[in-house]
Chains A and B, each alone.
Chain A
Amino acid sequence: MNTWFKLSLSLCGALLGACEGPGNQAPATTAAASNSAAPVAAAAPAPAAKVADTGPIKVGILHSLSGTMAISETSLKDVALMTIESINKAGGVLGRQLQPVVVDPASNWPLFAEKAAELIQKEGVAVTFGCWTSVSRKSVLPKFEELNGLLFYPVQYEGEESSYNVFYTGAAPNQQAIPAVEYLMSPKGGGAKRWVLLGTDYVYPRTTNKILRYFLHEKGVKDDDILEKYTPFGHSDYQTIVAEVKKFAAGKPTAVVSTINGDSNVPFYKELSNQGLKATDIPVVAFSVGEEELRGIDTKPLVGHLAAWNYFMSIDNPVNKQFIADWKAYVAAKKLPDGEKRVTNDPMEATWIGIKMWAQAVEQAGTTDVNAVRQAVAGQVVKAPSGFDSTMDMKNHHLHKPVYIAEVQADGQFKVVWKTEGPIRAMPWSPFVPDSKAKVADWQYPWVCGNCTEPKFKTSLAPVAEAAPVK
């Protein structure tokens, strides 16, 4: 009898370990590949280099196509392929075609790092577009820094980071989270006095909520009026949490700030509507829920709940019309699953901007060399579907973006209820967090640093006046 139980227990353990199963493909393949490639390179080194200069430019795409994040990331892969295809149709970059290399890290964070190394070392990609969750970005970051790769990261994130090897085309907290909370505090937004900070348990929600807590303290909200809750990835039972939110909300106007990520959003919103939590009573503002995530949910009971992004599909301007038309045409031409029902969203727009910017920078630099392209990306301007010119900041590797706050409509689209007058400059280091207040992200001389309180180089030149923040 006993053996049975030992067996079944060890089995449970084996299962827990097995979750990381697909990730165990060792990076040994990289070594094998370089070995086999070595004789060729040795025999004819000069022509090989020449071929590399005229042949296609390899571009890495690193998004989960399976697992809990596939709901969000699959469209980013598709829109990246669409943008690359349109660049190729227009003659490519530097007269060379772009060749996308798509890999699937399967929502498995260690696998992200392996796949990133594979892209840079084995495939020799000039640039990588990828990652959604911050934990996946944190996982690939050392690889990109160690191998001097170039990553364009297209999703809003928690800030508190600035890497020489990453360009952030999504929003920093001051371009999404802070304005959203300010809106909910305003009379128009419902004048919330109590706050529920609800998230998936990993680095992005934890850091965002830390910043928000400091921000709320600054606004005079006491700790008693803040409830912070986390659930694991893929959590599907939100009964207790929704009931607790209701209890906490009694008597004072309350708002929920949701940083729940991935497919947990479906059971969360289902529970919200089933328990009859209306947006007029307790509005929920989400930072990771857009048009794509709402596609699988009946949105009628969710009308009025909010999302904060830098782009919505419903924004009306010629660039966005073209973007949506291109996307619909691409979906139809490639017969992508769900065809007509496919939508555009903020990270897709950010992916699109990132690829355009990189292509412009390569044209300007005249080479795909990472060091040269990095210099050229700063200051690039792209006419974005958000209705404004998106500029890459000269210093901090982040985009200047407008902020929109919008309400869910019955048809699964969003209606904008508040927006900034124009693009806002990103602040990767939050001024509300004491530890990072003094930090500066500035990759220009004499700073050349993403995480410093004083410049790396001493210069006798007069300091360049800080450009006024774009408002």
Chain B
Amino acid sequence: MGHMARRGMRWASSFLLAWLCLFAPWAVSAARAGVDLAMELRAVAGDDSEQAAQAVERLKAAGDPAALPALQAFDDGNLRVDAGGNVFIKTKDGLKPAAPGGAAQPAGSLKTVEPDNTVRRALLPALAALKLTSPDRDIRLAAAEELSKRPSDDVANMVKTALAKEHDSAVKTKLNLVIAQLDLASEDPTRRINAIELIRQSGNIDFKADLERMVGKGGNATPSEKDPKVRDAASAALSSIETRVLLIGMVGHLFYGVSLGSVLLLAALGLAITFGLMRVINMAHGEMLMIGAYTTFVVQNFFQKNLPGAFDWYLVAAIPAAFCVCYAVGVVLERSVIQFLYGRPLETLLATWGISLGLIQTVRLIFGANNVAVANPSWLAGGYELLPGIVLTYSRIFVILFAIVVVLFVWLWMNKTPVGLRVRAVTQNREMAAAMGIPTKRVDLGTFGLGSGIAGLGGVALSQLGNVGPELGQSYIVDSFMVVVLGGVGKLVGTIAGALGLGIVNKLLEPAAGAVLGKIIILVLIILFIQKRPQGIFALKGRAAEAG
């Protein structure tokens, strides 16, 4: 029986072979599309990541779009494999066989297969190569971008075909760059020169190492390029790229500096109001930041529990909430302690320091000593690539814009509202203002509340950048005082200048001196500056200045 069956098989296979030979031209491609794909996918979904990577490479080289859904599912974590090694794609409507003609239903238990880095390094270019024919321009652009990172010879033909059909100029540029990188190794010097020209135009720093190798710079003893003409072109391209990198670096440092400055500004603005206008040394100011950040945390949890659909907008709700909570805490603080201590700076300092310790401990009791997680809403995740090499992250951009809005708000409040007018009057001459019928006590209360509320807003911003824990305020209080003292007490513009100045100088020093030494240098510079100019950058003029 078995013998018979085997002979039957042999007969069938020889028949199949003859049949295949007859229809060879399309039968081979059918085999590649169907049978091969299922085989390769088995390897892709197997346990050995190196074999999986090789299978992905082969699928890429075959350039068969039928492999795309399975590979995409692999990258997304939607690929499942059953006990028999059959591969399926998980979709919204249930499981689908990954290769045409595969088993329709899974047998045994399903396992999710996910790529590791070894596979992913092969998978991403493979996906990109298969997506070059996509009708969507953005997908093609992303694919071309990915290919230009690690071009390999086996995609050259695919890229050339895609290039011939491409109409979009941005995609074309990227694709040309892929070819250019491959052409750098070409035998023909004119092709090499053309490639170098394209690379020069792209200005991409990633090619610096290639060019350096050609001209024998950057640790390469001898130039790999023999043709002097090509070498000249390469060294011209290299210097052009280097200039560009320098420029980009400056723009980057400026942005990072402004971003750090805006964080400092938000932290210090409330202090500029309470310390600058009211002369209250509020050591509990940092804790207002902390309370603002914790309010954001509470609002986030509220949204997570009750409004999961609107979770992305919790931050918008957290802004007024943090302001109100901190305003209230500030008012209570002023009424219960600070109003009795006006004009006695040393007592205020000690009392508010005690309050700050009390607040830290209270938060520790309520929320625990550990940091709490405040997630970025999805619209703040990621960043915008301004130029190759500089990514402006959305959360930083948000904080900068937020700082501008808050400063505007404070300025309008101080200069355009009757309340602001009274505050300025009280600041300049308390007795005279009282004589004119201004209720100075109520003005004090409102001003202190506002200063605390602004600190709460700063806390919202800080929660998006760093850790939220009970000691959050401690790390900002010193910086806040530095900003206010440096900028000049009692001047909004001084606080802005102080914060931005500190931020930018800090970020310019950081790459050269390191983060630790940078901080020390800043401190020394400020001490020297205050020695020379004790009134800060902007001095308050008039009677109030002498009164202090």
Contact = CB atoms under 8 A, between A and B. Distances in A.
Interface of A: 1-5, 7-9, 11-12, 15-16, 18-19, 65-68, 70-71, 74, 188-190, 201, 222, 224-225, 229-232, 234-237, 239-241, 243-244, 246-247, 250-252, 263, 266-267, 270-271, 273-276, 279-281, 283, 295-298, 301, 304, 306, 337, 407, 409-410, 415, 417
A66 B474 CA distance: 14
Nearest to A10: B349
A8 to B, nearest CB: 5
Contact of A280 (B120, B510, B534, B548): B120
Contacts of B515: 201, 229-232, 235, 241
Majority secondary structure of chain A interface residues (helix, strand, loop or mixed): mixed
B205 A410 contact: no
B394 A274 contact: yes
A74 B370 CA distance: 8
B391 A15 contact: no
11 contacts: A4-B489, A5-B535, A9-B530, A12-B478, A70-B370, A188-B118, A241-B515, A266-B371, A267-B466, A267-B467, A298-B376
Interface stretch (B207-215, B401-409, B427-435, B450-458): B207-215
A281 B118 CA distance: 12
A15 B372 CA distance: 25
B481 A407 contact: no
A280 to B, nearest CB: 5
Contacts of A235: 515
A15 B349 CA distance: 11
Contact of B383 (A5, A16, A274, A279): A274
A222 B219 contact: yes
Contact of B219 (A224, A244, A247, A250): A224
A292 B349 CA distance: 39
B444 interface: no
B118 A417 contact: yes
Contacts of B536: 5
Contacts of B108: none
A240 B375 contact: no
Contact of A247 (B116, B207, B371, B389): B389
B117 A247 contact: no
Interface in B373-400: 373, 375-376, 381-383, 385, 389-391, 393-396
Contact of A407 (B77, B117, B530, B545): B117
Contacts of A5: 485, 530, 534-536
A232 B50 CA distance: 40
Nearest to B281: A11
A266 B256 contact: no
A241 B376 CA distance: 21
B381 A273 contact: yes
Interface stretch (B25-33, B169-177, B245-253): B245-253
B121 interface: yes
B94 interface: no
3 nearest A-B residue pairs (beta carbon): A251-B209, A236-B466, A274-B393
A71 B116 CA distance: 28
A240 B219 contact: no
B121 A266 contact: no
Given A236-B467, A276-B382, A296 B77 contact: no
Interface string B338-359: 0000000100010001000000
Contacts of B381: 273-274, 298, 301
Given A224-B218, A410-B77, A275 B391 contact: yes
Contacts of B121: 190, 280
Nearest to A191: B121
Given A5-B534, A190-B121, A407 B116 contact: yes
B301 interface: no
Contacts of A70: 369-371, 469
A7 B345 contact: yes
Given A5-B485, A274-B391, A71 B370 contact: yes
Given A18-B353, A237-B465, 14 more contacts: A8-B281, A8-B485, A11-B281, A15-B481, A66-B470, A68-B471, A70-B371, A230-B516, A236-B465, A247-B389, A281-B149, A296-B371, A298-B376, A409-B114
Interface string B117-139: 11011001000000000000000
Given A11-B481, A251-B208, A66 B259 contact: no
B514 A229 contact: yes
B124 A280 contact: yes
Contacts of B481: 8, 11-12, 15
B482 interface: yes
Contacts of A230: 514-516
Interface string B457-480: 000000001110111001101100
Contacts of A266: 371, 466-467
B212 to A, nearest CB: 8
Contacts of A3: 548
A66 B535 CA distance: 39
Contacts of B368: 337
A7 B530 CA distance: 12
A250 B208 contact: yes
Contacts of A295: 373
B268 to A, nearest CB: 12
B536 to A, nearest CB: 8
Interface string B511-545: 10011100100000001001000111000000001
B58 interface: no
Contact of A240 (B253, B372, B376, B394): B253
A342 to B, nearest CB: 12
A132 to B, nearest CB: 14
B242 to A, nearest CB: 11
B71 interface: no
Given A15-B477, A247-B205, A7 B281 contact: yes
Contacts of B205: 247, 250-251
B288 interface: no
A283 B396 CA distance: 24
Contact of A250 (B114, B209, B256): B209
A234 B475 contact: yes
A458 to B, nearest CB: 47
A328 B515 CA distance: 40
Nearest to A21: B357
B188 interface: no
A16 B530 CA distance: 18
Between A66, A224, A225, A279, the greatest number of chain B beta carbons within 10 A of the residue's beta carbon is seen for A66
B300 to A, nearest CB: 13
A276 B385 CA distance: 9
A8 B484 CA distance: 10
